[in-house]
Structure 1
Amino acid sequence: MFELHIKTRGWIALGISPAGGMTGADIGMGWIDQAGNVHFQDRYAFNFSKPILDTTTMDWHGLQGREQNGWTAIQFKRLLDTCDSMDVPIKSGTNILIFAYGLMDPNIGQLDDDISYHENRRGSRIIPLQSYSDPPPESKFAEFDSFDFLMNNYLVPPTDTTYYCKVFKLPSHFPMKRHAIAHKIIIDSTNRDLVHHMDTYECHPETTNFDDTNLPEGECDQIVKQIKTCVSNMMTMWSVGADHVSEYVPEAGYPIGGDLPVKYFMVQVHYDNARLLSNRRDSSGIKFYVDSKLRQYDLGYVVFGLSSSAYGIAIPPHVDRFIIDSYCPTNFSKNFPESGITVIGALPHTHLQGNKAPAECYLWSIILNI
């Protein structure tokens, strides 16, 4: 079910796009007439031209709506997968939505009864519409201890892309080793359109020398020297489309506190401000839930692959898929137990350039598919 609110007295439209533009987009379009009746249509865009009425089946259904104080709001629904050649399936994770609106309603029954051109009254958003899994409710962790790593009312600059890094020290109230058993990504409700992804890193204990009264923070490329010990060991990863609450497997937890050497962590937030918005402040971050009982195994993290730069990953022209080979140093697996390791999760991430990134890890003549 969807609900679209736009400041106009004309028609409004929302579409599911396979690639971010109009071509191939499945669009629901509606308006409120002078009598207050809701009109809704199922349309399809073959190219960058006016979307035509769906000639197969009507799969977008208007439910209710109203026009008030210069705003039009319509509630409507559609099946996740209609098996219609003129529809786009709503997939798990991120979907690309497009929207547009006109200044006038169509004149039904007149020669010019079709929708008017939207001109620059359009846009797009990348939004998770369907979870990959069945995430647990936050109430499940109400009895556990917790701690947060949050941005502090950061003023997001009016630039297209900003990576902001902030170092945190683990709270001192964990004198004994404990296990974090889940985490929750916290996104400011006003900034869901800006926060694109968020990563948490361990700071290397042997080379970390921070002043606890003045921990580093700033745009990442401006404080490279201060955070150089905090950019290798990635602890958690989240991007738009992933579940906000992640519960770890019951056999294992992430070790914190006590005599463990890792005391500092860094949160990196990518702000995707394509509309160059100003005066937006953000306090997004991450919350960890901590159990009082230790689990059987400690969780750890393995990062492998190539640097995501023009020198590490270059996409060849005119190909649907390609292979990237990377080789680990000889000491990569020296501390692995003889019984091996158990992989419980992975996060491939390609921004808008790909839709699938499987990995094969060759270890001791064994192929591990991720």
Structure 2
Amino acid sequence: MSAFAYPPHKYSPDSYGLWDRSLVLDDLGHYKVQWTASSTDIQFRLTVRTRGYIGFGLSSKSRMDGADIVVGWVHSGKAYLQDRHGLGNLEPAVDRFQDWTIVSGYENDTHTVLHVSRPLNTCDPHNDHAITNDTSRVLWAYHPDDPVDPDSPRPRLHYHGDFRRGTRSVFLLDRDPGVEYGHSGDAYGQNSAYPSESSKDKKPEESEIHTWTLNSPGVEVKADMATVYWCKLFRKPLLVQKNHIIKFEPIFSAGNERHVHHILVSECTSDDPAVVASLEQLADSSGGQCYSQDMSPLLRACSHVVVAWAVGSKGLTLPPETGYPLSPNGPTIFLMQVHYDNPDSRHFQDHSGIRVHYTHKLRNFDAGVLSVGLDPNWKHLIPPGQASVLSSGHCVSECTSKAIPPAGRLRITHLLGREVRLRHLRQGVELDPIAQDLNYDYSYLEYRLMKQPRTVLPGDHLISECKYSSVERSAITLGGINTRDEMCLSYLYYWPRSSLSLCHSKPSLNTVLQSLGIEELSQ
């Protein structure tokens, strides 16, 4: 029997209690998924604005072919469910083994709601998708009508059309790093990296939380600009005492979300009076392109990253034990760098940026941000036409001068990235990776919160490792800042804060020349 029918089940929206994660999958808000995972299985609640069938799939790729798909509907008061798998763009085939289970389901005048579950690993590598810590692609679809012959073992599905389907990349086993304080009834800190027993008592009152908004000043991106890096300097808010940054999230100009690839906010400090004067002067301007003649020399004074956001992320709420320090006597000028990606040659203006939340109710530890990996420059070479190319950037033992337990991490590569890993070595012995994603998605760079604290000791060696596929490239890809270039960087939030904020390596010129078969340079 391929279809499972269950009697009607009436329940309130909250009858299943709290869900760990929730996501609206479509732009119209018609398809919402909530889920909770245990060590052995995962449960989903699908709430869709339809009285027809619902399709939901999991895959390592953003397409139906080979995807693990479940289809459900409610007909004559009974909930039905079928485990299927994708066959190209054809109707998904019914699986021999039905590994998805329907817990309950119902429909009302406008919506269909299904509560379904399945094991994390069904041991069916041909038709099912194993759910791991790697990025999963969630496929969704729905139709206003039930399948043809909805009571039969193999009902036929109506084609959902082009506008009732889509895909999203998701970390299914992670907690939400950007959760609001008290969101969905959570105790404060529940979705932070390491919630403590007393975290609920540490929740700042709303009157104790202030916001600092950093916006782009109407940056004009013209149709002939494929990549733009815009830098704008800001003065920090007026402070009378030390504060902690406890949270941040991106803000977008409507319609420009797809063009903003990443945003960095950094402290600016210098012992050179001329550099300080230039920073003060530029803080009153609308900024400029980061690597222009005016801006480029100042970037070295603004290398200590405070906020790192990238496409796909909702932001970050720091653990209740720690906050990033913002002090009256600290740096007064901050640099916001926004990377715009414009592959469709659109002409637009942008006011996107970052909203920072800070409080004078201090946490126990000051947090820091550490960038580990390959310095993004032309010496990073990726040959064309290769199915797999491995690049590594090192933070060597001489640089890890303080113990730094990472709290969350964000990995950045560009278009060719397929796998990323942050390796950890101690006294010549390799430990478990600090971070790893064997199914990386360039367009989904959400923060990953560690399930257990990790400590980096003095003398430890960190390696940011990226695997690329250049099969579709006919020329060498160079390292660099443009989207068609490549990079391999990991950003880690950690505590307690140290002076180390950037730990990169790069190939020597001799190594690059040897790899290109060049034995001698002449002038």
Question: Same fold judged by TM-score > 0.5?
Answer: yes
Partner of 1:367: 461
Which has the larger displacement, 226-235 or 95-104?
226-235
Structure 2: any 5+ residue segments left out of the alignment? 1-43, 178-190, 428-457, 465-523
Give RMSD over aligned pairs. 5.0
Relative to structure 1, the CA distance from residue 319 to residue 102 in structure 2 (aligned partners, 3 Å threshold; closer, same or farther) is same
Partner of 1:23: 65
Partner of 1:245: 317
Partner of 2:327: 257
Relative to structure 1, the CA distance from residue 347 to residue 17 in structure 2 (aligned partners, 3 Å threshold; closer, same or farther) is same
> Any residues of structure 2 matched to 1:57-206 within 5 Å, and which?
57-61=98-102, 63-66=104-107, 68=109, 73-79=112-118, 81-85=120-124, 86-92=127-133, 94-102=135-143, 104-108=145-149, 113-118=155-160, 120-121=162-163, 122-132=165-175, 134-135=191-192, 140-142=203-205, 144-151=208-215, 165=230, 167=232, 169-176=234-241, 178-180=242-244, 182-186=246-250, 194=258, 198-202=262-266, 204-206=268-270
Indicate conservation of the 8 Å contact 1:131/1:242, yes or no.
no
Q: 1:312 aligns with which of 380, 388, 393?
A: 380
Q: CA deviation at 1:369?
A: 5.7
Indicate conservation of the 8 Å contact 1:57/1:84, yes or no.
no
Partner of 2:29: none
1:267 & 1:209 partners in 2: Cα distance?
17
Q: 2:370 aligns with which of 293, 301, 305?
A: 301
Return the letter of the residue paired with 2:316: H
1:128 & 1:73 partners in 2: Cα distance?
25
Listed one character per residue, the Cα deviations across residues 160-199 of structure 1 (whole Å, up to 9, x for unaligned) are x8867563534442245x25252232567x9898587643
1:195 & 1:225 partners in 2: Cα distance?
25
**Partner secondary structure for residue 392 of structure 2:** coil
Q: CA deviation at 1:115?
A: 1.7
2:204 & 2:389 partners in 1: Cα distance?
41
Q: 2:404 aligns with which of 330, 339, 342?
A: 342
Return the letter of the residue paired with 2:64: M
Which has the larger displacement, 278-287 or 45-54?
278-287
Relative to structure 1, the CA distance from residue 243 to residue 361 in structure 2 (aligned partners, 3 Å threshold; closer, same or farther) is farther
1:104 & 1:289 partners in 2: Cα distance?
49
Listed one character per residue, the Cα deviations across residues 108-141 of structure 1 (whole Å, up to 9, x for unaligned) are 1789942244453432122344425841589823
Relative to structure 1, the CA distance from residue 293 to residue 24 in structure 2 (aligned partners, 3 Å threshold; closer, same or farther) is same
Return the letter of the residue paired with 1:16: L
TM-score, structure 1 as length reference: 0.69
Q: CA deviation at 1:14?
A: 1.8
1:93 & 1:255 partners in 2: Cα distance?
32
Q: CA deviation at 1:53?
A: 1.5
Return the letter of the residue paired with 2:234: K
2:349 & 2:99 partners in 1: Cα distance?
40
Relative to structure 1, the CA distance from residue 227 to residue 186 in structure 2 (aligned partners, 3 Å threshold; closer, same or farther) is same
2:145 & 2:388 partners in 1: Cα distance?
42
Q: Structure with the greater relative contact order (CA < 8 A, sep ≥ 6): 1 or 2?
A: 1
Indicate conservation of the 8 Å contact 1:149/1:267, yes or no.
no
2:159 & 2:131 partners in 1: Cα distance?
26
Structure 1: any 5+ residue segments left out of the alignment? none
**Partner secondary structure for residue 418 of structure 2:** coil
**Partner secondary structure for residue 61 of structure 1:** strand
Which has the larger displacement, 104-113 or 229-238?
104-113
Q: CA deviation at 1:81?
A: 0.9
Return the letter of the residue paired with 1:57: Q
1:270 & 1:327 partners in 2: Cα distance?
28
Relative to structure 1, the CA distance from residue 114 to residue 80 in structure 2 (aligned partners, 3 Å threshold; closer, same or farther) is same
**Partner secondary structure for residue 120 of structure 1:** coil
Relative to structure 1, the CA distance from residue 295 to residue 59 in structure 2 (aligned partners, 3 Å threshold; closer, same or farther) is closer
1:91 & 1:111 partners in 2: Cα distance?
31
1:37 & 1:350 partners in 2: Cα distance?
47
1:289 & 1:96 partners in 2: Cα distance?
34
Q: CA deviation at 1:322?
A: 1.7
Q: CA deviation at 1:37?
A: 4.4
Partner of 1:12: 54
Q: CA deviation at 1:19?
A: 1.6
Indicate conservation of the 8 Å contact 1:216/1:226, yes or no.
no
Listed one character per residue, the Cα deviations across residues 261-303 of structure 1 (whole Å, up to 9, x for unaligned) are 35223153768999x9999998662323244558676735345
TM-score, structure 2 as length reference: 0.52
1:191 & 1:141 partners in 2: Cα distance?
34
2:111 & 2:425 partners in 1: Cα distance?
52
Return the letter of the residue paired with 1:54: D
Indicate conservation of the 8 Å contact 1:151/1:166, yes or no.
no
2:370 & 2:403 partners in 1: Cα distance?
11
1:157 & 1:72 partners in 2: Cα distance?
41
Partner of 1:358: 422
Residue 216 of structure 1 pairs with residue 287 of structure 2: yes
**Partner secondary structure for residue 203 of structure 2:** helix
Q: 1:322 aligns with which of 352, 369, 390?
A: 390
Listed one character per residue, the Cα deviations across residues 203-229 of structure 1 (whole Å, up to 9, x for unaligned) are 533432445554437xx67x8566543
Listed one character per residue, the Cα deviations across residues 218-247 of structure 1 (whole Å, up to 9, x for unaligned) are xx67x8566543574432223436773123
2:265 & 2:106 partners in 1: Cα distance?
46
Indicate conservation of the 8 Å contact 2:141/2:160, yes or no.
yes
Partner of 2:492: none
Indicate conservation of the 8 Å contact 1:201/1:232, yes or no.
no
Q: CA deviation at 1:202?
A: 1.4
Relative to structure 1, the CA distance from residue 82 to residue 325 in structure 2 (aligned partners, 3 Å threshold; closer, same or farther) is closer
